[in-house]
Amino acid sequence: MEPWTEKRIKEACGVFGIYHPHGEEVASSIYYGLASLQHRGQESCGIAVCDTTGPKGNMNVYKGMGLVHEVFKEDTLRNLKGNLGIGHVRYSTTGAATPENAQPLVLNYIKGTLALAHNGNLVNTEELRSELAKTGAIFQTTTDSEIIAYQIARERVHTKTVEDAIKHAASKLKGAYGLVIASPRKLIGVRDPLGLKPLCLGKRESSYIIASESCALTAIGAEFLRDILPGEIVTISKDGIHSNLDLQQTRQAHCIFEYIYFARLDSILDGVSVYESRKKAGAALAKAFPVEADLVTGVPDSGITAAQGYAKASSLPFELVFHKNSYMGRTFIKPTQKEREQSVQLKLSVIEQTVHGKHIVLVDDSIVRGTTMAKLIRLLKKAGAKSVHVRISSPPFLYPCYYGTDVPSNKQLLAASHSLAEIQTLIGADSLAYLRVEDLSYIADGLPLCTACFNNHYPIAVS
């Protein structure tokens, strides 16, 4: 997902947790893990750590608005002392982008201290919030993550272990969640029963790690052990690893967004390579919607891999036709309409000698409102392209997502109110085709998928 676009589908969040049983400081490892998950959220981030040999209320937390490298400086990390910790990068899906909504959330309650980081979204938030409010709960944030933390704290009063409290609390949750939780002596990972949100387990020497994606393990030199199973609660302590599968269900529904464009290219989720998925999406497009052309290219960076797959399957050359200016700051100010119109051209410029006189296949992962695609097509034709045939490596977005992905309401989705021919005319393409819904299983190696944003088949009922 690219910051230079006017409107893209945005990621939810990324979570990371690590436990070193022999007292090694973990804050810097969390920092690098979060940096590798930065693509999943750019609004805020935070780290919470504790020393498992110290007093049970010694959780130390630091959070802020901005990117990981902006929020955490060397002296900040040096002061975050502890051998167990969790971290979070956030893009707001429930709750505003404000400092109080930054995670991890830390609760001090009758049984001690609990820190929680959450990726996903609940669909019964209001019901749970109302129940808690009636029993006197006072909320410090507007996130559903706080609801989860409160539910665990309430259950913990009546259970022997924090794992039992988490299991009882999770049985009340409806929606998508990948959780990392730090109690004073344990690191715990929880994945929703349908597997909507990814979560994996890794190891580096004697440390164990839980993360949203395997790329975070690679970033700190850890070995990927396995994916945490849908409905699994994994507890890591000085006694080793314990798995609880009481929340498991017979059905699963993995989020197709991860494979189309959320996850980082080098990640492997539930045994499926993200890189290979995107190449297969391009190949499926080429097979279903071939076109006579001189070359294939992709919109940087979101469409490049699918474009390579399209090119190989169609025996057409792949070329880079855009130069991306990597030095445009993310806070670049566009105060006037004219300057806003120029923003795409400032981020991307066309390599004219590559496109002049050519028929081009242009691949990207999505069209939301269509304004950016229209600008790119105009740039290509201004540089002398004879025709531009657009291929999109996802089906058209027709319905909103309720599980932690920022798919806008139907009114903002171009495909929900326009036919294929109308969209083609609006963006100025010579032809337009989307990946077929029936090809989604192929690109995810047959995994059971959630495809509700494309076909209105929601795996969890939404009121």
Tell me if 84 sits within 8 A of 3, measured CB to CB: no
pLDDT tens-place string over residues 60-95: 999 999 999 999 999 999 999 999 999 999 986 555
Which of 69-73, 246-250, 315-319, 335-339 is the least confident region? Answer: 335-339
Residue 372 has a pLDDT of: 87
Which of 8-22, 76-90, 150-164, 259-273 is the least confident region? Answer: 8-22
pLDDT tens-place string over residues 423-441: 999 999 999 999 999 999 9
Tell me if 101 sits within 8 A of 44, measured CB to CB: yes
pLDDT tens-place string over residues 147-181: 999 999 899 988 999 999 999 999 999 999 999 99
pLDDT surpassing 60 at residue 370: yes
- What pLDDT band is residue 334 in, cutting at 50, 70 and 90? very low
% of the chain at pLDDT higher than 90: 71
Token pair belonging to 334: 């566009």
Query: Which pTM value belongs to this model?
Result: 0.90
Residue 198 has a pLDDT of: 97
pLDDT surpassing 60 at residue 330: no
Q: Return the bridge partners of 236, or none.
A: 187, 241
pLDDT surpassing 50 at residue 202: yes
What is the arithmetic mean of pLDDT over 340-361?
83
Residue 72 has a pLDDT of: 97
pLDDT surpassing 50 at residue 5: no
Q: How far is CA 292 from each of CA 116, 194, 312, 387, 392, rounded to the nearest angstrom?
A: 53, 42, 14, 10, 17
pLDDT tens-place string over residues 130-151: 888 888 777 777 788 889 999 9
Buried b (16+ CB within 10 A) or exposed e, 292-330: ebbbbbbbbebbbbbbbbbbebbebebbebbeeeeeeee
- What pLDDT band is residue 345 in, cutting at 50, 70 and 90? low
Tell me if 104 sits within 8 A of 47, measured CB to CB: yes
Residue 246 has a pLDDT of: 95
- Tell me how far apart the alpha carbons of residues 299 and 305 are, in angstroms, rounded to a whole number: 10
% of the chain at pLDDT higher than 70: 90
Residue 254 has a pLDDT of: 97
- What pLDDT band is residue 337 in, cutting at 50, 70 and 90? very low
Residue 141 has a pLDDT of: 77
pLDDT surpassing 50 at residue 297: yes
- Triad 285, 289, 295: Cα angle to 5°: 80
Residues with catalytic roles: 13
Burial class (CB in 10 A: 0-12, 13-18, 19+), 83: buried
Residue 6 has a pLDDT of: 40
Residue 40 has a pLDDT of: 94
Q: Which residue has the higher pLDDT, 396 or 111?
A: 396
Q: Measuring CA to CA, which residue among 261, 296, 256 is closest to residue 436?
A: 256
- The position carrying tokens 């933390």 is 149
Which stretch, 128-142, 303-317, 363-377, has highest mean pLDDT? 303-317
What is the arithmetic mean of pLDDT over 304-330?
89
Q: Return the bridge partners of 450, or none.
A: 255
Sketch out the chain's domains with CATH numbers.
13-252 (3.60.20.10), 277-446 (3.40.50.2020)
Average pLDDT, the chain: 90
Q: Which residue has the higher pLDDT, 300 or 141?
A: 300
- Tell me how far apart the alpha carbons of residues 45 and 89 are, in angstroms, rounded to a whole number: 4
